């Protein structure tokens, strides 16, 4: 399955990237490690590339899109749960009052994530996500969330795939929230997604066996969780890793030191006009230590404003 958004010309596999040192570094790396005559040649099975998702493959402002899904779902169920209105966290979510919600910190967010992501079967949840992603629109940009993906990053994914890299998403976002749409939107197979999980249970007491999603956190795929999950789900150290926040640092530090030549990429959100500009002080997607560490370690930083010709795919691309 190919993404809808990609149609690079024959001559330029990264047409949405401006010529410059970032694009050149990517092209040089891929040329070097895929050339059988290069001392840096990497055999195909070892060509593992991992991509963070929020703020790296699609936008993450004003807040993680998955939280908007959670609030939308709780709102749609509110009439059946009058008791939620008496709970300040649930009420904030139902009212989409993110300012009020954020006052309750991670505990508040976890509560609405569990309330909105559990107590369904795997198949029911899949349908809910698909329905939402097809119809919901971003509050300020007024476009479907799947059009708020970064066109240059999608081109990069496909460029690597074309050179036989196996591309994975490794995201703090929910595994089950991403799987239903990543294949069509990014061209990344749904079994090549690693993410945060809640507990599940096989249940064969009904007419048909089903997977039940339980209201209990299992694993957060962020920070040290990323290399742990890569070890567990992929079983090979990536040679190419890409992220945008300090939550990706452990993945990059670990992946950078494999036996093969590696390429570590950080996306710096520098474009207040076309997207958002944020880094060291941002609550969502903070990039602080990474900005200091990257130059010391020869990691590449994408400067969104200067390196990208366009941010999102053109509106008429569908």
Q: Which does 52 bind (CB under 5 to 8 A by kind): Ca ion, its own copies, none?
A: Ca ion
Q: Specify the residue, 6 or 56, whose C-beta has the smaller distance to Ca ion.
A: 56
- Which of the residues 125 through 164 are near its own copies (CB under 8 A)? none
**Residue of 20, 122, 139, 295 that binds its own copies (CB under 8 A):** 122
52 counts as binding Ca ion under rule CB under 5 A: yes
Name the residue among 170, 138, 3 with its Cα closest to residue 59.
138
Q: Is 205 in the site for its own copies (CB under 8 A)?
A: no
Residue pair 153/99 in contact by the 8 Å Cβ criterion: no
Based on its alpha-carbon atoms, the radius of gyration of the chain, rounded to whole angstroms, reads 20
Q: What do you get for the CA distance between the two ends of the chain, in Å? A: 15
Q: Cβ atoms within 10 A of the Cβ of 253, count? A: 15
180: left (phi over 0), alpha (psi -120 to 50) or beta: alpha
Name which of 293, 267, 294, 295 is nearest 282 in CA terms.
Answer: 267
User: Taking the complex as a whole, how short is the minimal distance between the CB of residue 78 and its own copies, in angstroms?
Assistant: 29
Under rule CB under 5 A, residue 55 binds Ca ion: yes
Smallest gap from residue 173 Cβ to Ca ion (A): 9
Least Å distance between CB 34 and its own copies? 17
Does residue 54 belong to the site contacting Ca ion (CB under 5 A)?
yes
Residue 245 is a binding residue for Ca ion (CB under 5 A)? yes
Residue 13 tokens, joined: 């596999």
Nearest to 243 by CA among 148, 184, 187, 172: 172
189 binds its own copies (CB under 8 A): yes
Nearer to its own copies by Cβ, of 158 and 179: the residue is 179
Q: Which of 36, 45, 82, 206 binds its own copies (CB under 8 A)?
A: 45
Type and span of the H or E element at 265: strand 263-270
Instruction: Name which position in 47, 73, 166, 269 contacts its own copies (CB under 8 A).
Output: 166
Helix (H) or strand (E) holding 215: strand 210-219
Residue count, binding to its own copies (CB under 8 A): 36
- Determine if 242 is a binding residue for Ca ion (CB under 5 A): no
Query: With CB cut-offs between 5 and 8 Å by kind, which of Ca ion, its own copies, none does residue 54 bind?
Result: Ca ion
Phi and psi angles of residue 104, each rounded to the nearest 5 degrees, phi first: -90, 5
197 binds, among its own copies, Ca ion, none (CB under 5 to 8 A by kind): its own copies
Structure tokens at 252: 């990059």
Residues 6+ apart with CB under 8 A from 191: none
- Rounded Cα distance, 198 and 53, in Å: 18
CA distance 312 to 315: 8
Q: Which does 87 bind (CB under 5 to 8 A by kind): its own copies, Ca ion, none?
A: none
Binding Ca ion (rule: CB under 5 A), the pick from 242, 244, 250, 270 is: 244
CA 168/CA 190 separation, integer angstroms = 9
SS3 state at 212? strand
- Tell me the closest approach of the beta carbon of residue 45 to its own copies, in angstroms: 6
Q: Which stretch binds its own copies (CB under 8 A): 10-18, 144-152, 199-207, 305-313?
A: 199-207
Residue with tokens 């249970």: 201
Residues that bind its own copies (CB under 8 A): 1, 45, 48, 122, 166, 175-176, 179, 183, 189-193, 197, 200-202, 204, 208-209, 211, 224-225, 227-228, 231-236, 250, 253-254, 257
Residues that bind Ca ion (CB under 5 A): 52, 54-56, 244-245
């Amino acid at each position: 399955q190919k993404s809808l958004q990609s149609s690079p010309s024959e001559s330029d596999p990264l047409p949405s990237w401006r010529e410059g040192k970032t694009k050149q570094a990517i092209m040089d790396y891929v040329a070097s490690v895929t050339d059988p005559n290069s001392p840096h040649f990497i055999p195909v099975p070892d060509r593992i590339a991992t991509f963070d998702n929020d703020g790296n493959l699609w936008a993450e402002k004003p807040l993680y899109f998955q939280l908007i899904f959670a609030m939308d779902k709780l709102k749609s169920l509110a009439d059946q749960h009058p008791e939620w209105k008496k709970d300040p966290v649930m009420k904030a979510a139902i009212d989409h009052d993110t300012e009020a919600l954020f006052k309750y910190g991670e505990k508040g967010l976890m509560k609405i994530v569990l309330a909105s992501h559990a107590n369904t079967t795997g198949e029911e949840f899949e349908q809910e996500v698909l329905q939402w992603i097809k119809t919901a629109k971003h509050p300020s940009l007024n476009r479907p969330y799947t059009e708020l993906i970064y066109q240059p990053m999608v081109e990069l994914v496909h460029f690597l795939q074309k050179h036989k890299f196996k591309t994975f998403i490794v995201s703090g976002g929910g595994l089950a929230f991403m799987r239903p749409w990543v294949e069509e939107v990014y061209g990344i197979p749904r079994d090549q997604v690693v993410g945060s999980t809640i507990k599940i249970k096989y249940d064969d007491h009904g007419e048909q066996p089903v997977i039940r999603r339980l209201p209990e956190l299992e694993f957060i795929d962020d920070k040290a969780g990323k290399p742990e999950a890569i070890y567990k789900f992929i079983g090979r150290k990536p040679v190419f890793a890409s992220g945008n926040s300090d939550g990706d640092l452990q993945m990059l530090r670990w992946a950078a030191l494999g036996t093969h030549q590696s390429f570590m990429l950080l996306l710096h959100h520098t474009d207040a006009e076309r997207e958002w500009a944020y880094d060291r002080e941002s609550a969502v997607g903070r990039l602080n230590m990474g900005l200091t560490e990257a130059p010391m370690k020869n990691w590449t930083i994408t400067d969104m404003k200067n390196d990208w010709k366009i941010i999102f795919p053109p509106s008429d691309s569908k």
